[in-house]
Amino acid sequence: MIDISSITGSRGRMLPAFVLLFCLLLPGCDRQEGGGPPGRSEPEPEYQGTIIAVGDSLTAGLGIAEEDAWPALLARKLEGEGYNWQVVNAGISGETSSGALGRIKWIAAQQPDVVILETGANDGLRGIPPSVIKENIGRAVQQLKEADITVVLAGMQMVQNLGPDYTREFAEIYPAVAGEQGVIFIPFLLQGVAGEPALNQSDTIHPNEDGHKIIAETIYPYVLQAITARGKSN
Q: What is the pLDDT of residues 143-163, one digit of tens each?
A: 999 999 999 999 999 988 889
Q: Where are the beta strands (DSSP E) in the chain?
A: 49-55, 85-91, 114-117, 150-154, 184-186
pTM: 0.80
* pLDDT reported for residue 6: 34
44 vs 233, residue with greater confidence:
44
Domain count, the chain: 1
Share of the chain above pLDDT 70, in %: 79
Q: Is residue 37 part of a domain?
A: no
Of 182, 181, 162, 180, which Cα lies nearest the Cα of 170?
162
Q: Cα(123)–Cα(87) distance, rounded to whole angstroms?
A: 26
Q: Cα(28)–Cα(183) distance, rounded to whole angstroms?
A: 53
Hey, which residues are catalytic here? 57, 203, 206
Q: Is residue 87 part of a domain?
A: yes
Q: Which CA distances in Å does 79 have to 27, 71, 73, 86, 190?
A: 37, 12, 10, 9, 23
Q: Is residue 17 part of a domain?
A: no
Average pLDDT value for residue range 54-80: 98
Domain CATH code at residue 108: 3.40.50.1110
pLDDT (tens digit per residue) in 108-134: 999 999 999 999 999 999 999 999 999
Q: Is residue 203 part of a domain?
A: yes
